[in-house]
Amino acid sequence: MHIEELINAGLSENEAKVYWAALELGETSVYRLAKKSGVKRTTTYLAVESLKEKGLISAYQRNNITLCYAESPKKLALVLEEKKKSLDRIMPELLAFNNLMDKKPKIKYFEGRESYKEVFNDVLKYAGVEMLGTFNEKFWDYENFFTSHFMPKRKEKKIWARILLQDNPKLRDLHSEEQQHFFQSRLVPGDKFKVEIEMVVYGNNKVGFVSYDEEMAIIIESQKIHDTQKSFFETIWSLLPEHKN
């Protein structure tokens, strides 16, 4: 039996060393256990108490000296078996909790002037998957990122985009460049479409939000939120006319 194997069986390193020393020495004092195991005496006392709780060491007093002896290694197998039974008893609850955690949305929050990049760079990870978005003219303040990086990369990865744009002169210019930038857009009357926070629905289960004024961005990974936002988008899209450039 080796120290490493005792550790693999569930003992701590100090417990393994002390138990192994006890097996070799037979009935012995804590002082000799510490010397044999190479574990500090104060730590050896703690290890002995822990091993006593596990039923692997027994101790008694003789002439005011604590003497210890190792119980049969078979007890270790019984300890492991009892641990397995305990784990088996609570496994249904652990699995139920794990399933509940899997269903909760995963949310990532980013701050800073360039936090918007976290969302749009994440979009680029999903080659060939359509992106839906609502945009306002504030993204022109970050034009270099979009025109020199995001748009070319999105086109290269064949990420087709459908975008809702507020109907104003600046965004009409973008609307006229659909084919060049691999997207289709529809214009929403400005008095009905106040977009302060941009939204992108992408991947298979993600939604991103960007607030340029507040310098923050959020990525939510949730099938239900993704599907709901996509439904909102599709409803608005279907009600808008297809404008001619």
Does the 3-75 domain belong in CATH 1.10.10.10?
yes
Average pLDDT over residues 122-145: 86
Give the model's pLDDT for residue 102. Answer: 56
Strand ordering across the sheet containing 57-62:
28-29, 65-70, 57-62
Q: Is residue 243 pLDDT above 70, yes or no?
A: no
At residue 218 the predicted structure's pLDDT band, cuts being 50, 70 and 90, is very high
Of 111-115, 194-198, 205-209, 223-227, which gets the smallest average pLDDT? 194-198
Q: How many CB atoms lie within 10 A of CB 11?
A: 23
Chain-centre distance for alpha carbon 39: 38
Residue 156's pLDDT band, with cuts at 50, 70 and 90, is: very high
What integer pLDDT is reported at residue 129 of this predicted model? 95
The answer to whether 10 touches 86, Cβ cutoff 8 Å, is no
pLDDT in tens, 42-90: 888 888 888 888 888 888 888 888 888 888 777 777 777 777 777 777 7
10-54 tens-digit pLDDT: 788 888 888 888 888 888 888 888 888 888 888 888 888 888 888
pLDDT at 165 over 90: no
In Å, what is the CA distance from 179 to each residue of 46, 53, 127, 164, 184? 73, 74, 18, 16, 8
Residue 93, pLDDT > 60, answer yes
Tell me the per-residue pLDDT of 181-211, one tens digit each, with 9 for 90 and over.
678 888 887 677 777 889 999 999 999 999 9
Superfamily of domain 106-239 in CATH is: Endonuclease Chain A (3.30.870.10)
Please list, in sequence order, all residues whose beta carbon lies within 8 angstroms of the beta carbon of residue 75, skipping any fewer than 6 positions away. Answer: 54, 55, 56
Q: Which residues are 109's β-sheet partners? A: 218
Bigger pLDDT: 238 or 179? 238
Residue whose structure tokens are 């020495």: 25
pLDDT confidence bin for 244, thresholds 50/70/90: low
Residue 146 has pLDDT above 90, yes or no: no
Q: What is the pLDDT of residue 180?
A: 61
The larger pLDDT score, comparing residue 94 to residue 37, is at 37
Domain boundaries, the chain: 3-75, 106-239
Decide which of 24 and 227 is more confident. Answer: 227
Which of 132, 1, 123, 139 lies closest to 70, judged by CA?
1
Average pLDDT, the chain: 83
User: Is residue 159 pLDDT above 90, yes or no?
Assistant: yes
171 and 137 Cβ atoms separated by less than 8 Å:
yes
Closest-CA residue to 19 (of 65, 66, 76): 76
Q: Give the whole-number percent of the chain exceeding pLDDT 90.
A: 30
